[in-house]
Amino acid sequence: MHTYPRRLIRTILRTTAACVLAATAGCATGPDRNPADPLEPLNRATWRFNDTVDRNIAQPVARGYNRVVPRPIRTGIANFFANLGTVPVMLNNFAQLRFADGMSDLMRFALNSTFGLLGVLDIATPAGIPTHDQDFGLTLGHYGVASGPYLVLPLFGPSTFRDAAGFGVDQYASPTSYAEPRARNVMWGVNFVSTRARFLNATDLLEEAALDKYLFVRDAYLARRQSKLDEDKPETLPDYEAGQGTTAPKEK
């Protein structure tokens, strides 16, 4: 029984339901409210909770990890989990009919899992096989599902209603979810610490750059997600002939 993904999805659903109830109760009113963030009061409360946990638990653990674990081992651990993360990326590329990217992900996973010692060594990058960034939230967006309101998830951070649902699906697609429960939980914890340790410098930059960290992270997250959805749309040129009653001949 894969209890961790099920608990995760139940948590996401409970959080979403609480947000809906908060919205209908009128917590998201105000003339200056960003229409993409109607749940801002609730989101800010969750943000403060996450920030407290991060400052008092995650950051000290991540700094200790960087001090104790040698860099080559940290790199190997990061490579191992990045390799596992290639699987849901590959599946989402196939789901979006991006067959070339999906086959590239498959080759990358196969090469690193074999010659790269289960991904500890990144053989694929020097071999010229690129990495991709896809998830089920983007897959839903690819097929026209609206993002819905911005949503800060407890412990997991910025998201939207669509991306929160997609996150739960991606957990089912991750090989980590199918490990024995104790090993799965250990891997999840090590991956969390490894990831947090790599972004300590980003936290310092955020502290220096943002007057309101909540707004900075929200706007950056929403812009990045929209950019990912827009990057593969065909470019269109302005219709300079519009309104002139003529149509330019097509080039042969």
Q: How many CA atoms lie within 13 A of 83 on its CB side?
A: 25
Span 44-84, pLDDT tens digits: 999 999 999 999 999 999 999 999 999 999 999 999 999 99
Cα distances (angstroms) measured from residue 161 to each of 41, 166, 227, 245: 16, 9, 18, 46
Query: Which residues on neighbouring strands pair with residue 150, listed in sequence order?
Result: 160
Check pLDDT > 70 for residue 20. no
Domain chopping of the chain, boundaries: 3-25+37-230
Higher pLDDT, 126 or 239: 126
Alpha-carbon span 15 to 22, nearest angstrom: 10
Residue 128 burial (C-beta neighbours within 10 Å; 0-12, 13-18, 19+):
exposed
Q: Residue 2: pLDDT above 90?
A: no
Helix (H) or strand (E) holding 162: helix 161-173
| Neighbouring residues of 213: CB distance < 8 A, sequence distance ≥ 6 | 51, 206, 207
Phi, psi (deg, nearest 5) at residue 191: -65, -40
DSSP string, 228-250: HHHTTSPP----TTTTTT--PPP
Q: List pLDDT tens digits, range 204-246.
A: 778 777 688 999 999 999 999 999 999 866 555 444 444 444 4
- Token pair of 205, please? 């930059």
Pick the closest to residue 194 from 118, 95, 85, 107 (CA basis). Answer: 85
Which of 1-5, 48-52, 150-154, 198-202 is least confident? 1-5
Task: Please give the pLDDT value at position 190.
Answer: 97
